[in-house]
Chains A and B, each alone.
Chain A
Amino acid sequence: MKRYLAKRLLQMIPVLLGVTLIAFFIIHLAPGGPMTVLGGDAALLDPTQVERIEQAYGLNQPLYVQYFRWLSHVLRGDFGTSFVENRPVMEMYLERLPNTLYLNGIAILLVYLVAVPLGAISAVKQYSKFDYTVTIIAFAGDALPNFLTALLALYLIAMPSKGAIPMGGIASYGMKVEQVGLGLFLLDRARYLILPLLVVMCQSVTSVTRYMRSSMLEVIREDYVQTARAKGLAERVVIYKHAMRNALIPVVTLAGSVIPALFSGSVIIEQIFSWPGVGLLGYRAIAGRDYPVIMAFLTLGSVVTIISFLVVDLLYVAIDPRIKYD
């Protein structure tokens, strides 16, 4: 097990190097550049001015030199300074990370709390009215792109609510714990959380439900479930103790793709609801060709992704005794 872990950790190094290398070259190859933001109407700049800006930001050096300089800084924990805002990238990232963790953390927790039982019941009562209802809603929810759900939520819920449910943002102006007290503060926060949460869940609940349902369907046909029934165990024990625990294994795999989203945010949701999270930071950096911020966004995203897949693989050992890494 230790050897396996060491091997996996070592494998991360070339993967991360590859990811950052490819990302670095691709974003520098994309048309446009930070010049458009730094220099306003780039075409109207005089050439000496362009050279001066390129020199100040180190953009006049060969790409590979820029990459290795970036890499050596990152290895020392320094993601550099944003071209656009001229302040440390980590500072910008960390001031937004709590907002993304806050929304996605609650969302993921709720998604699993709702989706797992829904999927399980749906499978146990296959072809019942309940099953059909859940399946139809699940398909619909999955088919609706979340930008559409978001806009529908704005027009059908927020606008008629006359301000009770805000259209975007994360808190009301002037709502600070020390001024209004914890109760009002949390209530205000909750109002702003409703719509983004609803939209995130609308999409995610459906996919997890369908995973859970099909996994459960497979398991309850297994011999050992039949055996458990034959032993005369109560149906509840059969389902919840024997079947459901095994059916959860594939659902755990999903966590591998869910955890990175916790850290990288959801660009669409953050955009539409003006949620000051990490995804929006990444998107704005890409639009403005703010290379250091883009690289930090991609690198941290890759690190979290790779680590979460490792965590998922390790979780298997804990929940499935058949799996062992040597």
Chain B
Amino acid sequence: MHNTKRTTAWLVMLLSAAMLLTACGGKAQTPAQNESPAAAPAAAQDAPKTPKIQGRLTWSAVGEPVNLNPILQSDTNSTFVVQRVFSGLVMINEKLEVAPDIATSWTKSDDGLQWTFKLRNNVKFHDGKPMTAEDVAFTYNAMKDKGYTGPRSGDFAALEKVEVVDPYTVKFILKQPFAPFLANLTYGILPKHLYDAKPVAEMKDNPANRKPVGTGPWKLGEWIPGQYLTLIRHDDFYANGPYIPEMIVKFVQDGNVGVAKLEAGEFDIGAVPSSSIKRFREKTSDVFNFYPYQGLGFEYLAFNTTKPGLNEKAVRQAIAYAIDRQKVVSDILEGEGVVLNAPVPPASWAYSEKPLRYTVDKAKAIKLLEDAGYTKGADGIYAKNGQRLAFTITTNTGSSVRESECLFIQKALKDIGIDLQINLVELATFQGKVLPTGNFDMTLNRANLNVDPDPYTYFHSSQAQKNAKGTFVGFNIAQYSNPALDKLLEDGRKEIDQAKRKEIYGQYQDVIAEDVPWLVMFNYKSTYAIKKNVKGVVMSPIGPTQGWLWYTE
């Protein structure tokens, strides 16, 4: 009994907030950075020798997992559960380094084409069957199968095949050296015995996708659709722990309600959005410890570098000098962000401090425009050869931060004689029709850098080519083309030595900051609230991790 007409608009507004949270999850991991709050770092030293196995931890999820098969799912909620139910060959530790998980050690051939992994011999699936190299090979070969329907095959384009050497040794053979390869080996290992009866093309219909059997610290208890799922301790987990025998993941449908419930103490752990962090801290600091982090997510303003006007570096730089990003952070984000010079946040090992920093300087911006041959028209707008600097910024509805940013940028550009119109579109349209086609002058969007910082898909000129459907084959939405940068990005993928790669990516950041195909606005900061009785918490810049080390008092 509801009034459809009246509610529709509000529906969109309320629900898009929830959607945005999910959508921003992007590569499925939440950004985080251990800023060492008072309670966190001590965990390692203070921890009693063996914590008691006790307690229960209640988590919340905005939405609900859809598929618990590690190589078929890609949404935030499924990833959350999969990471706790499955173990991978390697894992990403709290310093964002590749660390052993099921594999204890690995060696690579000198040409970087053959990687050999030694596996633990005490790993058991939740159904009691031992995990061997066969399961590893099955999992990765499935992603190379012609019938594979999941989203991961792009990650393994360089992989030729996976071979079983002996039950506890597995060899990966690559087509060409590919540096990001190792950090991609985190996907949960599937139990071959539950999946190999049918072709990979039918894997999506396997009932085990909703009743997963993994090797991780917890196994799935029950899953009540629309309400909650439980995770129960896996007694045969290969390492010590987990010390928390039961975890509940409750599904909420609205992000704001989720925060209210966290505040009311219904959950033991949750991310607090920047908009409510101050009030939240004041009201609940006796119940929660706070773990702020500055992760791999950042906001950027992308220019269509094929658009007359915006194809000139001087105009893009003038815009960069006109926008007071520090003010955006302090006024719109209430300080919950950090201005960033290039598309690599400090949490990444590839971060460089060197790139050019644009501080607000409107006189300099105007001088850049005038030096580039622009003259101010009667309407106050700069123009050259009859071409006015008048653009449209297109972004999605449903984010008050983003909408405020648009207004802020509009005002800033007006001050230097550039006209800007704002065009807000629904999120699905924005992601489906605007970004992949480059159908915009400027756009505001969020990116999450992967653990491996390879930016090839964002800026290599080949990634701006379009397929038969008129969408980019990659994500070079600025349609930026720079042969020198192309070379850097190609080298960065091939170079296996991390120190040399860091140098290459330092140069890449200099180029992007100087040429501004994207003006990076800020690095998001966020905060996790965790109940005070939860100890041994391990946080990484991509969120809470290694839960089997946590315990409760």
* Binary per-residue interface labels of chain B (522-538) against chain A in the complex, 1 for a CB within 8 Å, 0 otherwise: 00000000000000000
**Residues of chain B from 241 to 281 with CB closer than 8 A to chain A in the complex:** 248, 250-254, 257, 260-261, 263-266
Chain B, Cβ-Cβ closest to A257: B1
Contact A159 B14 (CB under 8 A): no
Interface centre among A147, A274, A284 (most CB of B within 10 A): A274
CA distance A203 to B1 in the complex (A): 8
* Interfacial chain A residues near B261, Cβ < 8 Å: 167-168
Out of B147, B263, B433, B475, which one reaches A31, CB within 8 Å?
A: B433
* Interfacial chain A residues near B436, Cβ < 8 Å: 42-43
B149 on the A face (CB < 8 A): yes
* Binary per-residue interface labels of chain A (243-267) against chain B in the complex, 1 for a CB within 8 Å, 0 otherwise: 0000000000000011001000011
CA distance A287 to B473 in the complex (A): 24
Listed from nearest, the 9 A-B pairs whose CB atoms lie closest are A276-B226, A32-B432, A40-B74, A32-B428, A40-B151, A31-B432, A204-B1, A31-B433, A266-B2
Contact B7 A41 (CB under 8 A): no
* Binary per-residue interface labels of chain B (437-476) against chain A in the complex, 1 for a CB within 8 Å, 0 otherwise: 0000000000000000000010000000001100111110
A104 on the B face (CB < 8 A): yes
* Binary per-residue interface labels of chain B (2-16) against chain A in the complex, 1 for a CB within 8 Å, 0 otherwise: 110011001100110
Contact A41 B204 (CB under 8 A): no
B284 on the A face (CB < 8 A): no
* Interfacial chain A residues near B63, Cβ < 8 Å: 284
* Interfacial chain A residues near B205, Cβ < 8 Å: 81, 86
A19 on the B face (CB < 8 A): no
B342 on the A face (CB < 8 A): no
Contact B67 A85 (CB under 8 A): yes
**Residues of chain B from 470 to 491 with CB closer than 8 A to chain A in the complex:** 471-475
Out of B154, B257, B266, B431, which one reaches A36, CB within 8 Å?
A: B431
Q: Which of the segments A48-56, A306-314, A318-326 contacts the partner chain?
A: A48-56
B75 on the A face (CB < 8 A): yes
B500 on the A face (CB < 8 A): no
Given A36-B431, A146-B3, A271-B253, 6 more pairs with CB closer than 8 A: A36-B432, A43-B471, A159-B263, A257-B1, A270-B253, A281-B226
CB B301 to nearest CB in A, in angstroms, measures: 18
Contact B475 A44 (CB under 8 A): yes
B225 on the A face (CB < 8 A): yes
A38 on the B face (CB < 8 A): yes
Out of A86, A107, A261, which one reaches B67, CB within 8 Å?
A: A86
* Binary per-residue interface labels of chain B (193-222) against chain A in the complex, 1 for a CB within 8 Å, 0 otherwise: 000000001001100011000000000000
CA distance A111 to B1 in the complex (A): 10
CA distance A203 to B433 in the complex (A): 38
CA distance A94 to B552 in the complex (A): 39
A300 on the B face (CB < 8 A): no
B161 on the A face (CB < 8 A): no
* Interfacial chain B residues near A30, Cβ < 8 Å: 428
Contact A274 B154 (CB under 8 A): no
A189 on the B face (CB < 8 A): no
**Residues of chain B from 57 to 88 with CB closer than 8 A to chain A in the complex:** 58, 63-64, 66-67, 74-75
Interface size on B, residues (CB 8 A): 68
* Interfacial chain B residues near A275, Cβ < 8 Å: 226
* Interfacial chain A residues near B475, Cβ < 8 Å: 41, 43-44
Contact B10 A84 (CB under 8 A): no
* Interfacial chain A residues near B64, Cβ < 8 Å: 284
Q: Which of the segments A6-14, A62-70, A169-177 contacts the partner chain?
A: A169-177
- Given A147-B7, A159-B264, also A104-B1 (CB < 8 A): yes
**Could you jot down 22 A-B contacts, CB within 8 Å?**
A32-B429, A38-B74, A38-B150, A41-B27, A41-B475, A47-B473, A49-B154, A56-B201, A84-B67, A86-B205, A111-B1, A145-B6, A159-B263, A166-B266, A167-B266, A169-B227, A203-B2, A268-B2, A268-B7, A270-B253, A280-B253, A284-B64
* Interfacial chain A residues near B27, Cβ < 8 Å: 40-41
Contact A46 B157 (CB under 8 A): yes
Q: Give residues in B with beta carbon < 8 Å to A.
A: 1-3, 6-7, 10-11, 14-15, 18-19, 26-28, 58, 63-64, 66-67, 74-75, 146-151, 153-154, 157, 201, 204-205, 209-210, 224-228, 248, 250-254, 257, 260-261, 263-266, 428-429, 431-433, 435-436, 457, 467-468, 471-475
Contact B227 A171 (CB under 8 A): yes
* Interfacial chain B residues near A32, Cβ < 8 Å: 428-429, 431-433
Contact B151 A274 (CB under 8 A): no
**Residues of chain A from 145 to 201 with CB closer than 8 A to chain B in the complex:** 145-147, 154-155, 158-159, 162-163, 166-171, 173, 200
CB A275 to nearest CB in B, in angstroms, measures: 8
Contact B228 A271 (CB under 8 A): no
Out of B149, B260, B263, which one reaches A53, CB within 8 Å?
A: B149
Contact B225 A95 (CB under 8 A): yes
CA distance A71 to B82 in the complex (A): 36
CA distance A86 to B474 in the complex (A): 28
* Interfacial chain B residues near A257, Cβ < 8 Å: 1
Contact B228 A173 (CB under 8 A): yes
- Given A31-B428, A87-B210, A163-B265, also A46-B473 (CB < 8 A): yes
CA distance A275 to B468 in the complex (A): 43
Out of A45, A47, A203, which one reaches B151, CB within 8 Å?
A: A45
Chain A, Cβ-Cβ closest to B467: A47
- Given A43-B435, A44-B475, also A269-B204 (CB < 8 A): no
* Interfacial chain A residues near B253, Cβ < 8 Å: 168, 270-272, 274, 280
* Interfacial chain A residues near B248, Cβ < 8 Å: 173
**Residues of chain A from 77 to 135 with CB closer than 8 A to chain B in the complex:** 81, 84-87, 92, 95-96, 99, 104, 107-108, 111
A277 on the B face (CB < 8 A): yes
Chain B, Cβ-Cβ closest to A205: B1
CA distance A44 to B157 in the complex (A): 12
* Interfacial chain A residues near B151, Cβ < 8 Å: 38-41, 45, 49
Chain A, Cβ-Cβ closest to B436: A43
CA distance A73 to B416 in the complex (A): 61
* Interfacial chain A residues near B148, Cβ < 8 Å: 52
Chain A, Cβ-Cβ closest to B230: A173
* Interfacial chain B residues near A277, Cβ < 8 Å: 226
- Given A31-B433, A38-B151, A40-B74, also A145-B19 (CB < 8 A): no
- Given A81-B205, A203-B2, also A52-B254 (CB < 8 A): no
* Interfacial chain B residues near A146, Cβ < 8 Å: 2-3, 7
Contact A145 B10 (CB under 8 A): yes
CA distance A108 to B429 in the complex (A): 37
* Interfacial chain A residues near B210, Cβ < 8 Å: 85, 87
